[in-house]
Structure 1
Amino acid sequence: MICFLNGKFLAEEDAMINVFDHGFYFGDGIYETMRTVNGELWQGEKHMERLFTSAKMIFLKIPWSSGQIIYWINECIKRNNFKESRIRLTISRGRLDLSFEKGFDPTILIKVDELQEISEDILKNGVDLVTMEMERIMPKAKTLNLMSVILAYLKEHETKAYEVLLVNREGFITEGAITNYFVVKDGILMTPNEDILYGTVRDRILEIAEEEGIKVVFKSMTKKDILECDECFICNAPRGIVPVRSLDEERVGEVEFGMWKKLRDRLGIF
């Protein structure tokens, strides 16, 4: 497997980062997870826009242009030659020892893996979700501070759930650990809009809804709202749209026929 690290394309076993890098030492950095469609990078500019927004929020200066980064990503995709790729782009503040005031020399790493397709069983039957009381720090920035995601993965493993929905201190379900979520009630598409990371697939779904004349309501929702909906689905770039069948072992809406399928067909990433 070939990755890109600080200006060089390297075999994975040859890619090494300094142990005093702020990304390792403090979790100080940002990242993006992307995918290809038909072998081509999907929504690259959208991901770069969010990357630079995240960087601005944590006062991280990125010395490369979005065009240069996309070029490196595309070259990594080409060199690994998978049918479809999942791309992880990581940028840390670099090695500054214990200082946060020196000149900036960020570390950039691009890693490409083969993208795993969503099974037909999942699309037919939906997935099981669980809830967890957790709030992310700076939810609008995609940072390397991923303790909430790690704890969610541990709960997924324990409960055999597909994804964990995060519940804030007010009892509202904000987002998934690595996904956004939508519900449908009486033909209205609803999703939270506060204290969340604005996913690129979420943004595209909202565009499709407008094109299709689907009414959208931004609403903070509780577990009760989700359990009483007609359908629920989660979304992110690698997985696209995935229907939900249960939340905390309670049935959620319908899976087989729903708005999620129409939106997924329009999304066209699988």
Structure 2
Amino acid sequence: MDKQALWYVGGQWVHPDEAVISINDVAVLRGYSAFEALRTYNRRPFHLDKHLTRLYRSAELIELEVPWSRESLAAIIREVIERNTYKHAAIRILVTGGESEDSILPTRKPTLAVLITALGERDMERFAQGYKLITTRLQRTEPDAKTTNYLVAIRALKEAARRNASDALYVDEQGHVLEATRSNFFIFRGDTLITPGAGVLKGITRNVVLDLAMERFPIEERPILLDELALADEAFITSSSKEIMPVVQIDELKIGKGLPGRRTYELEQRFIEMIEQGDF
């Protein structure tokens, strides 16, 4: 972490080692807070307005009032970008629940924090290797809301690390494969692109990839059965930081030939072209 970065926390501009949130904030005591994560390309935020829409939606779902307007939040985010020198960056927007007098119900105004960290250039060598994932039966609450309650995700990621995997895929009680801990999941069966449309947090990058794919591939937004993974020719995940990342193995199952597929590569090239043209 760059200790010289400038973050916006509670109305103050601070370096990371100066950032403070009250121990009495229910974000700390109870994990009650909403957040959003986005990135920049060449100092320009990727679909900022859509990320703000999702932040307000997440807060609404958990009944957390956001006392800042979209315009003021956007202005703070742009100032965070301007005050730092990163070409590419990851930005996290946190709206805490606020301080509490009884350690459970918030009684004071939420705290706003906007954090920024540098991102490197696109790692095409990692793309060429692809990811190994595991499946987990751990279940989340409120998957449509992006909150800081990552209890299930952290447990799933610890298990993935123990099994030398990069991430974990949630599988629900009906045997439907949903999404990874911080990314959306897709498979190709032939030329048909399939991704879950319910029970997941619909990522901004997910939706962009669907738009890019619409011109080229048939698309089905529907449940993916766990047994269906054996029939997949290709698989990949999407997120703001990972963009499009091929998945070559899930548990002990190799996907397709165990290598990134040509359709996934084509979508990646379309995504890169969109970024290079600034079409976002």
- Tell me the TM-score normalised to structure 2 length: 0.90
Structure-2 residue corresponding to 1:202: 206
Shift of 1:83: 2.1
Give CA deviations for 1:197-249 in whole Å, capped at 9, x if unaligned: 01111111122222x14211112112321221110000101110001111113
RMSD: 1.7
2-structure distance, mates of 1:223, 1:258: 23
Q: Report the Cα distance in structure 2 between the residues aligned to 1:39 and 1:119, rounded to whole angstroms.
A: 18
Q: Who is 2:118 aligned against?
A: 114
Identity over the aligned pairs, expressed in percent?
28
CA distance in 2, matches of 1:66, 1:259: 37
Note the 1:1-270 alignment, pairs <5 A: 1-98=5-102, 104-210=108-214, 212-254=215-257, 255-268=259-272, 269=275
Between the aligned partners of 2:146 and 2:22, the Cα distance in structure 1 is 22
Letter in 2 for 1:95: E
Distance 1:218 1:127 in 2: 23
**Structure 1 position 103, deviation (Å):** 5.3
Q: Deviation per CA, 1:36-68, whole angstroms, max 9, x where unpaired?
A: 012211110010010011111111111111221
Shift of 1:117: 4.1
For structure 1, the residue ranges without an aligned partner over 5 or more in a row are none
Task: Give the counterpart letter for 2:66 in structure 1.
Answer: I
The answer (yes or no) to whether the contact 1:181–1:235 under 8 Å persists in 2 is yes
- Number of equivalenced pairs: 269
Counterpart-to-counterpart distance in 2, 1:192 and 1:112: 30
Q: Secondary structure at the match of 1:148?
A: helix
Mapped to 2, the partners of 1:220 and 1:229 lie a distance apart of 14
8 A contact 2:26–2:105 mirrored in 1: no
Structure 2: which amino acid aligns with 1:240?
E
Structure 1 runs, 4 residues or longer, greater than 6 Å off: 99-102
Q: Aligned with 1:232: secondary structure?
A: strand
User: For residues 131 and 101 of structure 1, what CA distance do their matches in structure 2 show?
Assistant: 35
Shift of 1:107: 0.8
